Amino acid sequence: MTSSRLREPLMRLHSAFAILALLTVATAPAAAQTHTSTVGFNAGPVLYSSFNSGAPESSLDLKPDLGFVGSLQYDWYVARGVLGFRLGAHYQRLELDWTNGTREIYAYAGDFDLLLRPIRPKETTRVIPYLSLGVGLTQYRLGNGLPTSFEAASALYDGDESAEFSVLGGIGFDIVTGWGWDEGAFLIRLEAQDNYVTSSPFVPTTGGGDFSGIHNIRVTLGLHNSMGLIR
């Protein structure tokens, strides 16, 4: 039920951004795309794989409902705008079925990404594709305290909120708008990125070891402001 409540407003948000992007490309005058950096905010849905991947086949699947992610990003470019680096901070809200009912999860993540633009942007470029690859840390806010188990899912939470290592990869597009602030143009950013957290916050109730890592796929839209010019 929560998933369906989230899905409708998220779909409306993405539709509005998509229409805005199309209008922007159709009407925007040529603007300089050889900027040295951008800063902005992205938001959208996040889709998770199971938190207990590798559990016995009879176990319940600990897979959260469709969640929400909001991201702050700052990136800067070298090599005439082809190569970039990015710092990202992310907030996620999820809901997961647990032994005593639905459990609300908040996740915080930070990462450092390498950005590669296959085509060097020029002053007349309106759509800039890019690839991203990075590393980071993710922490799931499940609460510090006594261990709690979910026998039906063969999962145990040991009560320790620790940050887990993650690797990221994705693809995105920056779309130039006809508007700007100071000397920079506003960009609409569409991005899909898979954040693979290498360890689950849960462990098997029997047999020891660990569950497999967790994929969370973010599909976001955002508005960014470009700054500076590469000479």
Render pLDDT for 112-150 as a digit per residue (tens, 0 to 9): 999 999 988 877 778 999 999 999 999 998 777 778 888
**pLDDT at res. 93:** 93
**Number of neighbouring beta carbons within 10 Å of residue 197:** 26
Going by pLDDT thresholds of 50, 70 and 90, the confidence category of residue 23 is very low
CA distance 39 to 230: 16
DSSP class of residue 124 equals: T
In contact, 81 and 130? CB cutoff 8 Å: no
CA distance 181 to 188: 14
The two three-digit tokens of residue 231, written as one number = 């000479």
**pLDDT at res. 224:** 94
**pLDDT at res. 122:** 77
With the C-alpha atoms ordered 26, 29, 34, 35, is the resulting torsion angle positive or negative?
negative
User: Mean pLDDT throughout 178-204?
Assistant: 87
| Sequence letter at residue 58 | S
Residue with more model confidence, 79 or 173? 173
In contact, 180 and 228? CB cutoff 8 Å: no
User: Mean pLDDT throughout 5-12?
Assistant: 53
User: Mean pLDDT throughout 65-77?
Assistant: 95
Query: Across-strand partners of 106?
Result: 93, 141
Residue 91: its H or E element: strand 83-98
CA distance 223 to 114: 20
The per-residue DSSP string of 23-61 comes to: HHHHHPPP-----SEEEEEEEEEEEE--TTTTS-TTSPP
The per-residue DSSP string of 167-179 comes to: EEEEEEEEEEEEE
Residue 81 has pLDDT above 70, yes or no: yes
CA distance 219 to 96: 20
**Number of neighbouring beta carbons within 10 Å of residue 28:** 16
DSSP class of residue 152 equals: G
